[in-house]
Chain A
Amino acid sequence: MKFSSPLTIFFLLLLLQQTLFSAMTDRQFIENTCKGTPSPDLCLEIPLANRESENANLTGLALIGLDAVQDRGFEILRQVVDLKNSQPELTPTLDICTEVYNVVVDSDVQSSREALRGGLCKFAEDGMADSAVEAQACERSFGEHGQSSPITDSNNIINDVANVVRAIIRMLL
């Protein structure tokens, strides 16, 4: 068989295009998914920070999202421990936040994860709906005690991420 130079080059170009195309499809899938959530930019940060999201499907993305909620929840719980030492006057409110975020990281995330893995997407949504509520409850309790919240950003992020993950889960229904 005679190999002609132009044919070889053409083949190489085809190969390059296929490679780029496959990468673009992954990215396109994630972008499209995130467009359907309340916070598309925040949504994009979650899978792109996680290697496993390459070739993840919708369920995979949701599971990665649950990990992100749990990560942030544990981070807040650690922040609250530090705050109890540095700002002890906030203790009653911080106790409320401790309680609600322990529910988030343990019950909410765990039940959503199990529901997703078991294919029960309707129940998976409940865990994230509750997580958003718990984050709001923590933030609100500062105001109710006449205090200014030192963790507003953290609370808002969890609320937003939980809503993003909830939206992704709804796409599975």
Chain B
Amino acid sequence: MMRVFNRCVWSLALLICLLSMLSNFHGIGVMASHNVHLRYQTNNVDKVKQVYRTGYHFQPKKNWMNDPNAPMYYKGFYHLFYQYNPKGAVWGNIVWGHSVSKDMINWIPLEPAIVPSKPFDKYGCWSGSATILPGDKPVIIYTGIINEKPEPGHQAQSYAIPANYSDPYLRKWIKPDNNPIIKPIHENVSSFRDPTTAWFNNGHWKLIVGSKNNRRGITYLYRSRDFIKWTKAKHPFHTKKDVGMWECPDFYPISSQGTNGLDTSTLGDNVKYVFKASLDITRFDYYTIGSYNLVKDKYVPDSTSVDGWAGLRYDYGNFYASKTFFDPIKKRRILWGWANESSTRSEDIAKGWAGIQLIPRKVWLDPSGHKLLQWPINELERLRDQKIELSNVKINKGDTVEVKGINVVQADVDVTFTFSSLDKAELYDKKWENFPPEDLAKSICGIKGATVQGGLGPFGLLTLASSKLEEYTPVFFRIFKTTGKKHKVLFCSDATPSSINKNEYKPSFGGFVDVDLTTKKLSLRSLIDHSVVESFAEGGKTVISSRVYPTLAINENAHLHLFNNGSENVMVEKLNAWSMKTAHIN
């Protein structure tokens, strides 16, 4: 009896000894925890319930947020305003929330800047934009709701100016009584909103307002000499039939050379133009590249730019109501976009918040001239903390390689995959052309998920994965052979297996990547942040953002893997992954 007991104790002791050694290696240690006061403990929202709040994506402390409004730079600070409900986690009671920042990553929250207070915005202060007038004088033009009917509201545009130009935070704004300055007359009064930043040429300020006529998307052009009296142009600035309402239009110049942004009024050689609209029906943001006809004061998309539901999108996932501004300090065109929740309304109310902004992106023209490239602003890299590096790791078919040593729910992961041959790429099925063209990539991602074996691919990341892979959000590539030695690269961010919670909206977002495969390399960067996975393929050629709500893959129980489920072996040439510090946002 004693012998057995001793043997058991000996083995147990050995085991404890080994474990203790291992834990010391990983820095966990066995130091007793202290209940240290005091001055260093920040206000703690109940962390147990709030597993989905982001660590470094912009969101207010609580309640509902939607469109980003009037992003701008003034006297040393970047400003972000946003549609905000101070009273609850659903849309309603809309005011303009306001925060300022030195780096668009860490923020100082302020009181709301614009709230209903006048006859011309009594029923709501909806979206709008900022224009910086000469002499560094910002002015906001926004949509005020003057009447609840006709639904969703009788809309008109009004302006607001800072109460005190010497306050760098611009906390307070005043709305002069000569508002509204742009009223709908013949236009559809309940579809007349989201005025853009104005641009100046030929002695006039010009801006556009989003609208529709039945199913025709329209942007109306308004001109003014003094920014107060606005006259509608006879013809729309741009219009397209059968697309539905154009919300949150945006129009800006883009340089055909280099990555720098341009002031919104820029004209000249080597300048192309971007026109963007949020499509109310599909809930996606689309853009075209084109030219600005100064004589007719019209935008004309290039013939190579598809204008409509099947057109190019900033982001093939959850990304809406986006808006750009020109950063005059670093000479960048910056893009903000909103992601709503994919959870249910009652879950949003229970958790007390809804809506995040995606990380601000620098936008520039691809050298081909046919599409835009985007990349998270490099200030984000300040949050990078512990780093893990991997080089030359082979992933055979069916393998997963776990990435350990970082906080995988709050991380920045940058990986380059290589492969030696395209021969095994599966055939692109011609029948897929029967899918609606605007949904083509998403449909293929839906039928060919990460567990469906392939030839070259699927390979990529399994983010926010639970221990037994009951939950995971795969972000991956799959390569197809088409006709005549050509290939198509599909990029998917698939929420389908992300959570065992049956109530969530779990779409299999996807987009094609326009890339030359002769290098036999594909790169991927994913920003993972609790309930959002924001992924950039090939340096920003195709971007997809997903909102996910795992129930098992949270905090210490989440994992991150590289995977390959294709018959062609894949090599991870290089992986850099960082834990991200939590940003100061509220």
Contact = CB atoms under 8 A, between A and B. Distances in A.
Interface in A92-144: 95, 98-99, 102, 105-106, 110, 113
Interface size, B (range) = 35 or more
A157 B40 CA distance: 10
Nearest to A95: B167
Contacts of B103: 106
Nearest to B17: A15
Contacts of B171: 81, 84
B581 interface: yes
- Chain B interface helix/strand/loop/mixed: loop
Interface in A50-80: 54-55, 67-68, 70-71, 74-75, 77-78
A5 B39 CA distance: 50
B447 interface: no
A2 B40 CA distance: 54
Interface of B: 2-3, 6-7, 9-10, 13, 16-17, 20, 24, 27-32, 34, 36-42, 76, 102-103, 106, 108-111, 167-169, 171, 382, 581, 584
A8 B110 CA distance: 64
B109 A22 contact: no
Contacts of B13: 8, 11-12, 15
Contacts of B41: 49
A78 B28 contact: no
Contacts of B168: 98-99
A2, A4, A19 pick with most chain B CB within 10 angstroms: A19
Contact of B10 (A8, A45, A46, A157): A8
A71 B40 contact: yes
Contacts of A170: none
Interface of A: 2-5, 8, 11-12, 15, 18-19, 22-23, 26-27, 45-46, 48-49, 54-55, 67-68, 70-71, 74-75, 77-78, 81, 84-85, 95, 98-99, 102, 105-106, 110, 113, 157
Nearest to B25: A55
Nearest to A54: B29
B271 to A, nearest CB: 33
B304 to A, nearest CB: 42
A67 B168 CA distance: 25
B86 to A, nearest CB: 15
Contacts of B37: 45
A26 B36 contact: no
Contact of A4 (B6, B28, B106): B6
B291 to A, nearest CB: 40
- Chain A interface helix/strand/loop/mixed: helix
B379 to A, nearest CB: 10
Contacts of B27: 54-55
B448 to A, nearest CB: 41
Given A74-B108, A110-B382, 10 more contacts: A2-B3, A8-B13, A15-B16, A22-B29, A23-B29, A23-B32, A27-B31, A49-B36, A71-B40, A81-B109
B10 A3 contact: yes
Given A26-B29, A45-B39, A105-B584, A3 B6 contact: yes
A68 B40 contact: yes
Nearest 9 pairs of A and B residues by beta carbon:
A3-B6, A106-B102, A55-B27, A74-B584, A23-B31, A54-B29, A49-B40, A48-B36, A49-B36
A74 B20 contact: no
Given A15-B13, A45-B38, A54 B28 contact: yes
Contacts of A49: 36, 40-41
20 contacts: A19-B20, A19-B30, A22-B30, A23-B30, A23-B32, A26-B31, A27-B31, A45-B39, A54-B27, A54-B31, A68-B40, A70-B584, A71-B40, A71-B584, A81-B111, A81-B171, A84-B171, A99-B168, A105-B102, A106-B103
Nearest to A50: B40
B38 A78 contact: no
B6 A5 contact: yes
B34 A55 contact: no
Contacts of B38: 45
Contacts of B3: 2-3
Nearest to B579: A52
Contact of B106 (A18, A27, A74): A74
A143 B31 CA distance: 45
B172 to A, nearest CB: 10
Contacts of A23: 29-32
Nearest to B108: A77
A18 B29 contact: no
